[in-house]
Amino acid sequence: MAQQNRVWFITGTSRGFGRVWTEAALERGDKVVATARKLESISDLKEKYGDNVLTLELDVTKPDQVKDAVKKAHEHFGKLDIVLNNAGYSLVGTIEEATADEIRALYETNIIGPVTLIQAVLPILREQGYGHILGTSSNIGHFTLPVIGYYSSSKWAFEAIHESLSEEIKQFGIKVTIIEPGAYATEFGSQESLKFSGSIDVYNDFKAEFIKGLSSYEQGDPNATAQAILKVVDSEDPPLRFHLGSHNLPLIKGIYADRIALWESWDEVSRSAQGNIK
């Protein structure tokens, strides 16, 4: 049974999954602190849902703005039940092409920003003795792809941080879930959600072929995810990792099977490296 009048704090609510999940929560009567880098991009939420939504401008790469938003949210609604780190983008470029500044900027949004929000809300959730922190990762939190290797790496870090977090805060009654979408027809592939590194000519054909291959992936309907997310937050025992879509599990099972087979093929050499210290 879903609790009534729960309060969500969601980043990246202007479009994509963030918008879908924000509206799903509001439609069932929950309250939402909806945040986005540009306040005008979410002004329609206030017009449609009135006092059930608090819209705030928030750039997750600005720590003072994060802390201020959390303070305003808590003062406005008196509690925070669900905190959903959803803001992020992808950097398109090979490992050789991306600059250090481009990589830092990606990590500031995809890793440091979410951690800043987590650290800001934890004192509130601890004092309450309950709460649920969710983070939007990706199925590539389990594997990597060329051309978006740095984005993949950010999701590996994102997953590791949330897995450690789950062990550290369960003593306080706080739950953690990592959301792992597959390919969906969101605006994630738009110019606002993608940044491109500089180009080295020798990679041009490879990148063009890769991007062409991405367009052939079967994409899911973002609106179909809403009820699944609500079921996760309503669960007494939500999963640490939750796949969105029908293709993730078969894909990831195959990837791990290949990894185990490779490790086993080298197991004798691995064991020989143990040594015999007594």
For the chain, domain boundaries: 7-247
Q: Where are the alpha helices (DSSP H) in 192-266?
A: 204-214, 226-234, 248-265
Query: Smallest Cα–Cα separation from 134: which of 142, 125, 143?
Result: 125
Q: In one letter, which amino acid is 155?
A: K
Count helices and strands in the chain by DSSP H and E runs:
10, 9
Query: Strand 174-181 to strand 131-136: parallel, antiparallel, or no bridges (unpaired)?
Result: parallel
Under 8 Å between Cβ of 203 and 94:
yes
Residues acting as catalytic residues: 137, 151, 155
pLDDT tens, position by position, 199-248:
999 999 999 998 888 777 778 899 999 999 999 999 999 999 999 998 89
d(CA 131, CA 117): 14
Query: Smallest Cα–Cα separation from 10: which of 60, 62, 64?
Result: 60
pLDDT tens, position by position, 65-116:
999 999 999 999 999 999 999 999 999 999 999 999 999 999 999 999 999 9
Does residue 200 sit in helix, strand or coil? coil
pLDDT tens, position by position, 137-189:
999 999 999 999 999 999 999 999 999 999 999 999 999 999 999 888 765 44
At 4, the pLDDT band (50, 70, 90 cuts) reads: low
At 193, the pLDDT band (50, 70, 90 cuts) reads: low
pTM for this structure? 0.93
At 5, the pLDDT band (50, 70, 90 cuts) reads: confident
> How would CATH label the architecture of 7-247?
3-Layer(aba) Sandwich (3.40)
Helix H or strand E segment including 66 = helix 63-77
Structure-token match 């305003």, residue found = 72
